[in-house]
Structure 1
Amino acid sequence: MSKIFIVEDDRSIREELAELLRNSGYEAEYLTDFSNSKAKILSAKPDLILMDINIPDLNGEQLLKEIRSETDTPVIMVTSRTSETDEVLSMSYGADDYITKPYNPTILLLRISAVLKRSAGSVTVQSYNGLQVNDAKGCLTDGSRELILTKNEMIIFRFMLDRRGSIVTRDELMTALWDNDEFVNDNALTVNISRLRSKLADLGCEDAIETRKKQGYILR
């Protein structure tokens, strides 16, 4: 039975979450005193940590950074913050996933299951034009620099990488995002592709994504 440790300062939320996890076959523990949080979390030796960003005494992102310096235990950030900046910062500090409140309990359980399965197996690392693609960390690296992608950017990039050299339509990309419970409109898709292009260019992959008018995109 996997042990999940909850870091949430709202009593009702953490107790409801603990009940959800226990009813789903997990062992659940949580903090009630947030002093010396890192030591308490590490001593519990959980298989996965669910952590809010807004917690007493220490910002959740900073706590994540400190935990990550000592352990590779998977961490999912569960937060009411919805800005892309918070997601990018959390992923750069080592979060394995990021889900916003209010969340669908079924979706949260699926995310937990996916992260646990991923952590139990080997890290998937593939290459693209000399870059290492690390799905577990959600990043691209050229060996000296590491570039974090948002979840949407990684879904888009992975979808196009799996179909490299073939035209990918906007409808296909929207469906891929929806299948991962990432709901975006047409304008948001354009913004995500633009940011992905820019990030790939920063790592030396200029013109990596070609636009085919009225058809879609090709990853070169």
Structure 2
Amino acid sequence: MSKICIVEDEPKIAALLNDYLHASGYESLVIHDGAAAVSAIHDYQPDLVLLDIMLPGKDGLEICRELRQKSRLPIIMLTARIEEIDRLLGLELGADDYICKPFSPREVIARVKAVLRRVQPEQADATEEDTLKIDPEAHRAWLDDHELDLTPVEFRLLRTLAAAPGRIFSRDQLLDHLYDDHRVVTDRTVDSHIKNLRRKLEAVREGETIRSIYGVGYRLDL
């Protein structure tokens, strides 16, 4: 599981990013104070940093400069500044990408995935359970060495659940990952896809593979 460090002093934005990262299967740490960021990042050893430019104590550009002196840790800058000089300065300091506020959390997740794919091309999506294998590029999945015949929506659903086995995902969290065009659907759509996915998993392995948590959501148990 990739670890993401969020350096952001606005509590609502930090909490929103934190929730979306967790729902996408990432572990994350939030840092609100720029002065404490470099040492906290060093201790946490993340795979990527989401770094706001405007921070108390020390700004994001200086933090980026300090990090770049010691490592090639992937950095995505978050900024409310729209001046081209700030964008270029952030990239010249060694940032891998930048995102302008206001932004969609889904856009941030997409950028995080894209940067991680660039810096970790040899790493494929995988769960701790080696009995479930997922190939995100080919949209193929195997359970106990049996390939699963999944629709695109079922594949995305399984990939989301498998990113954090044992974690409960709400219907709303799962809906965020089902459709590329972000169409408006009801939460009962998730129930229908879960039913079909569960049937295909249980055709390979007996027992309840996707557990329904009443009033909360669903959890993958393998």
TM-score range relative to shorter protein: 0.5 to 0.7
Q: Which residue of 2 aligns with 1:154?
A: none
* 2:6 aligned with 1:6: yes
- The aligned amino acid for 2:121 is G
Distance 1:26 1:20 in 2: 9
The answer to whether residue 61 in structure 2 is matched with residue 57 in structure 1 is no
Q: Which residue number corresponds to residue 116 of structure 1?
A: 116
How many angstroms does 1:37 deviate by?
A: 2.0
State how far apart, in whole Å, the 1-side matches of 2:45 and 2:29 are: 11
Render the CA deviation track for 1:113-154: whole Å, top value 9, x for unaligned: 0100101138xxxxxxxxxxxxxxxxxxxxxxxxxxxxxxxx
1:102: Cα distance to partner?
A: 0.9
Aligned residue pairs, count: 122
Summarize deviations over 1:25-84 as a string: whole Å, max 9, x none: 111111144433211111100000000000011111011000111111100001111111
Q: Which residue number corresponds to residue 67 of structure 1?
A: 67
Structure 2 counterparts to residues 16-165 of structure 1, below 5 A = 16-121=16-121
- Identity %, equivalent residues: 40
Distance 1:102 1:33 in 2: 21
User: What 5-or-longer segments of structure 2 have no aligned partner?
Assistant: 123-222
**One-letter amino acid of the structure 2 residue matched with residue 79 of structure 1:** T
Cα distance in 2 between the residues matched to 1:106 and 1:36: 28
Could you say which residue in structure 2 is the equivalent of 1:209?
A: none
SS at match of 2:86: helix
Deviations 1:156-214 (A, max 9, x none): xxxxxxxxxxxxxxxxxxxxxxxxxxxxxxxxxxxxxxxxxxxxxxxxxxxxxxxxxxx
Task: State the AA in 2 paired with 1:23.
Answer: A
Of 40-49 and 113-122, deviating more is: 113-122
State the alpha-carbon separation in 1 of the partners of residues 70 and 34 from structure 2.
19
* Structure 1 counterpart of 2:162: none
- With normalisation by structure 2, the TM-score equals 0.53
Aligned AA (1:114):
A
Equivalents in 2 of 1:113, 1:121: separation in Å?
A: 11
State the 4+ residue runs in structure 1 displaced beyond 6 angstroms.
none
Q: What amino acid is aligned across from residue 50 of structure 1 in structure 2?
A: L
Deviations, residues 71-109 of structure 1 (Å, cap 9, x unaligned): 111000011111111110000000000110111222211
SS in 1 for 2:95: coil
Aligned to 2:158: none
> SS of 1:90's equivalent?
helix
Secondary structure in structure 2 of the residue aligned to 1:98: strand
Query: Any stretches of 5+ residues in structure 1 without a counterpart?
Result: 123-220
Q: TM-score of the superposition, structure 1-length normalised?
A: 0.53
